[in-house]
Amino acid sequence: MSINILLIIVTVAISYFAMKDSTLKFRLINNPHAVYHRKEYYRLITSGFIHGDFMHLIFNMYAMYLFGNMVEPYFIYIFGTNGRLAYVALFVLGVIVANIPDLFRHKDNPYFNSLGASGGVSSIVFASIILAPMNKLMMLPIPVPMPAYIFAILYIAYSIYMDKRQGDNINHLAHLWGGLFGIAFMAVAYPGSIKGFLDQILSSF
């Protein structure tokens, strides 16, 4: 079994139990006030394994399935025996990094909460875009195939828009920070990927 599938199974299981048990949900959710003032740092990670509802869970896990099944084999090819470990690091660190801005913005607000794997999933999505920027991607409500790098721009714009009109506990801006982390991760872990990214785009013109 691939690490990607294992992470999806674990996330679905924890999310399911947290949706059925509000006490568990609020023990795992990212509450910046609790993280900062009570030093409950684990929330920066555990919040990535719970979701607001089944649609939120399905959307994130479907994206993780599609993009993760492409990125994990790349990582195994690039990093060899450390490939699976690198993939887990990409996901978990993506979740943490995406939660950091809210930690500083809302550390004194005990009522702010956020949850979801969006940061980790976005880090995987953007890592895949760096590796294969000319892949055609399509996501509703825009039923038009487009190059992955164009998709990335629209994805970021949508995330910023949803964050500004936020009315739920979903950390929409995590898409942005997770995506940026995915790019940074690739630049540090595999510097040649950035040149390959630019070469693929330029050669398409």
Q: What is the pLDDT of residue 103?
A: 94
Q: What is the pLDDT of residue 36?
A: 97
Q: 3-202 in CATH: which number?
A: 1.20.1540.10
Domain residue extents for the chain: 3-202
Average pLDDT over residues 28-48: 97
Average pLDDT over residues 4-17: 98
The residue ranking higher by pLDDT, 165 or 56, is: 56
Mean pLDDT rounded to a whole number for the chain: 91
Q: pLDDT tens digits, residue range 143-190?
A: 778 888 888 888 777 777 777 776 555 566 788 899 999 999 999 999
The residue ranking higher by pLDDT, 157 or 118, is: 118
Confidence of residue 75 (pLDDT cuts 50, 70, 90): very high
Could you tell me what percent of the chain has a pLDDT over 70?
A: 94
Written as six digits, the tokens of 39 are 């030093």
Q: pLDDT tens digits, residue range 119-139?
A: 999 999 999 999 999 998 776
Cα 23 to the center of its chain, rounded Å: 25
Name the strand (E) or helix (H) holding 157: helix 148-164
Q: Is the pLDDT of residue 73 over 70?
A: yes
Distance in angstroms (rounded) separating the CA atoms of residues 74 and 63: 17
Q: What is the pLDDT of residue 157?
A: 79
Entry pTM: 0.90
One-character DSSP codes across 90-122: HHHHHHHHHHHHHHHHSTT-TT--BB-SHHHHH
